[in-house]
């Protein structure tokens, strides 16, 4: 009688342990599914942010390009034309000044050149493309590419936009969410084995229990390992 009582008590303890394990595995499964869902939502947000930043960067580039060509490049062209006119007037004034009868004409030409020089100075003072010598190339043309880079750098918020990083983060979050979702398979196997252990009354119960415990531990370590491997994401 006492032997049967002891067996019943041992069986009850096993039943209790299995029930606790089933409840634990169920809770862990729900937690992993929730975590994968959260990561999937974060991946969608990162994708959306990447698209928005791509559009913002494209709009900023188009605006900078329009400003450069419609404002500074046109004024730079005017500067080049003024320089050519000034040089021509100075040269012509020099030729007239060489003769005694042409001194008056030379003075007029120099006066016109001085007036154009004042206009040109106003242009140079207001346009970095013309005023900064680093944009002037050896063939006397202007380095529009370098100026465009500098214009973009003048807006640090737009310069800091990195859509590629946003998309890379989205891909990483998607991978992490997918792998966590796949780890639920291990929890499902553990839950199935523990359920068999609960409904089985023969010696094979121990086998099912061992399988359930092993798969639970494997699933927990898999989920924890994924969290550590993708530590910088989510």
Q: Is residue 151 part of a domain?
A: yes
> Tokens for 193?
């084995």
Q: Is residue 234 part of a domain?
A: no
Is residue 161 classed as helix, strand or coil in its secondary structure?
coil
Q: Is residue 208 part of a domain?
A: yes
- Write the CA distances from 205 to 129, 131, 213, integer angstroms: 83, 87, 12
- Whether the CB-CB separation of 93 and 110 falls below 8 Å is answered with yes
Q: Is residue 74 part of a domain?
A: yes
The answer, as to whether pTM is greater than 0.85, is: no
- Whether the CB-CB separation of 53 and 169 falls below 8 Å is answered with no
Q: Is residue 127 part of a domain?
A: yes
pLDDT digits (tens, 9 = 90+) for 188-216: 999 999 999 888 877 788 899 999 999 99
Q: What whole-number distance in Å separates Cα of residue 212 and Cα of residue 14?
A: 13
Q: Is residue 37 part of a domain?
A: yes
Q: Which residue has the tokens 């750098």?
A: 153
Segments forming the whole domain that contains residue 78: 2-229
pLDDT digits (tens, 9 = 90+) for 86-137: 888 888 888 877 776 677 888 888 888 888 888 888 777 778 888 888 998 8
Give which of 152, 127, 11 is closest to 70, Cα–Cα: 127
The total domain count for the chain is 1
How many angstroms separate the most distant Cα atoms in the chain? 145
Residue 42 CB neighbour total at 10 angstroms: 18
Q: What is the CATH number of the domain that holds 156?
A: 1.10.287
Is residue 88 classed as helix, strand or coil in its secondary structure?
helix
């Amino acid at each position: 009688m006492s032997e049967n009582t002891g067996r019943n008590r041992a069986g009850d303890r096993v039943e209790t342990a299995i029930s606790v394990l089933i409840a634990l595995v169920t809770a862990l499964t729900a937690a992993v599914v929730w975590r994968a869902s959260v990561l999937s939502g974060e991946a969608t947000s990162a994708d959306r942010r990447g698209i928005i930043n791509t559009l913002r960067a494209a709009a900023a580039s188009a605006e900078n390009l329009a400003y450069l060509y419609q404002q500074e490049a046109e004024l730079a062209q005017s500067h080049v034309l003024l320089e050519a006119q000034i040089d021509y007037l100075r040269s012509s004034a020099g030729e007239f000044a060489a003769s005694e009868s042409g001194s008056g004409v030379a003075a007029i030409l120099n006066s016109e050149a001085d007036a154009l020089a004042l206009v040109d100075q106003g242009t140079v003072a207001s346009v970095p493309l013309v005023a900064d010598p680093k944009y002037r190339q050896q063939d006397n043309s202007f380095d529009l590419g370098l100026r465009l880079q500098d214009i973009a750098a003048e807006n640090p918020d737009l310069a800091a936009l990195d859509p590629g990083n946003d998309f890379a983060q989205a891909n990483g979050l998607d991978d992490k969410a997918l792998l966590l979702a796949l780890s639920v398979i291990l929890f499902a196997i553990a839950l199935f084995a523990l359920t068999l252990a609960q409904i089985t009354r023969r010696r094979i119960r121990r086998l099912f229990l061992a399988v359930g415990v092993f798969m639970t531990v494997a699933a927990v370590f898999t989920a924890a390992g994924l969290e550590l491997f993708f530590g910088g994401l989510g």
